[in-house]
Amino acid sequence: MNQSNTSPKFLLVKLSSLGDVIHNLPIVWDIRRQYPDAQIDWVVEEAYVDLLMPLQTRANFKGIDRIISIGLRRWKRNIFKPQNWRELSQFIRTMRAEKYDEIIDSQGLLKSAIVASLARKTPHGKVTGLANATEYSGYEPLARTFYNESVQVPKQCHAVDRSRYLLSSAIGIPLIDRTYLTDFYPWQGIEQLINSSHQSALLRMGEAQKPYVLCFHATAREAKKWGQANWIAVGQHLVKKGFTPIFPWGNLAEKKVSQEIGSHIPGAIVPNAYSIQEYFQIITEASLSIGVDTGLTHLSAVLKRPTIEIYCDSPLWKTEGYWSSNIINLGDIGQPPSATSAIQAIDLLLPTH
């Protein structure tokens, strides 16, 4: 990019999922570091808009200028519904309403590349995307046909670093390494969410009293799950230390597992379902979050809250939290940790209540 362009316009395309979106956040601050007055817009699936709300630009704060919501997942479930086609038409109009200097697709899928191609470019504008797959991440080679610039990245590449490879190539700066990592979320954005209620969602619903520990057992892929016996052992240990274990869930099958685990732990709570916005409050007020390789565990880590990340069938190098002394990573692909190692980690992060 021409460095004389002091106020360029950026469009970030990272549609989903929860963990992928939050690991893409540092490039917002990387852009702001180079171009404080840049316009930064972001296209994201409607289910994850709340993940970006704490970054939204306000009177005394520059973050994301515009969040562009897309309902692609919902539209696909009923492609013949007229309302969905009207929403798609409106989305395309929104995408065409602005011209961008830099469009960065850090997802590398055909759907994200097509979305990126819908946006208009300035005369020297371009679309930058991935030239290759990284191990254990989704990638569709046809996406390259929609890019002006395809960037080669290491096959083993942390999710945060992968986005930074694209940005450094797009704007012509050296690769930003791990020695520079701003907060994923600005405190003023998180504080605004927390202060929207005097109590967390847990307390408002009368489901728990502090101190509590969140236990994120649920994940979409069976192999990434940690055995129920491990969760029971961890939950019982937490109770002995004076903490209330909470077992959240996202669907009825996960709720059933939460109830099965909780039935073996006196005082354990299986809560109601929560929104992403409520999870900001709940995680911030938790004494600790323990979870498998899933989005809500990563949300706790990027908020720099005490977090234990458990890896069973995904590589540690891909998403491990490395930016805070409050994070302990356990296990690796094909090497699930024992309950004993998790209990030792709990004792390191939590004093006896």
Cα 147 to chain centroid, rounded: 24
Give the strands of the sheet with 99-105, arranged side by side. 66-70, 39-45, 9-13, 99-105, 120-130, 149-151
Q: Which two tokens stand for residue 148?
A: 């002006």
The model's pTM is 0.94
pLDDT band at 121 (very low <50, low <70, confident <90, very high): very high
What confidence tens digit (pLDDT) does each residue in 265-303 have? 999 999 999 999 899 999 999 999 999 999 999 999 999
pLDDT band at 198 (very low <50, low <70, confident <90, very high): low
Domain 9-184 identical in fold to domain 197-349: yes
Q: What is the CATH number of domain 197-349?
A: 3.40.50.2000
The Cα 307–Cα 219 span in angstroms is: 17
Q: What is the DSSP string of 144-177?
A: GGG-SEEE---SS--HHHHHHHHHHHHHT-PPP-
CA distances from 241 to 216, 346, 351, 353 (A): 19, 10, 8, 6
The Cα 128–Cα 108 span in angstroms is: 10
Helix (H) or strand (E) holding 233: helix 228-241
Q: In sequence order, which residues have a C-beta less than 8 Å from that of residue 325 and are 6 or more positions away?
A: none
Preceding amide of 211 cis, omega within 30:
yes
**For the chain, domain boundaries:** 9-184, 197-349
Superfamily (CATH) of domain 9-184:
Glycogen Phosphorylase B; (3.40.50.2000)
Q: What pLDDT sits at residue 85?
A: 96
The Cα 173–Cα 170 span in angstroms is: 8
In this structure, what are the phi and psi dihedrals at residue 296, rounded to the nearest 5 degrees?
-70, -30
What confidence tens digit (pLDDT) does each residue in 304-342 have? 999 999 999 999 999 999 999 999 999 999 999 999 999
Q: In sequence order, which residues have a C-beta less than 8 Å from that of residue 247 and are 6 or more positions away?
A: 215, 217, 231, 235, 258, 261, 262, 268, 269, 270, 271
Q: In sequence order, which residues have a C-beta less than 8 Å from that of residue 87 and are 6 or more positions away?
A: 71, 75
The Cα 140–Cα 151 span in angstroms is: 14
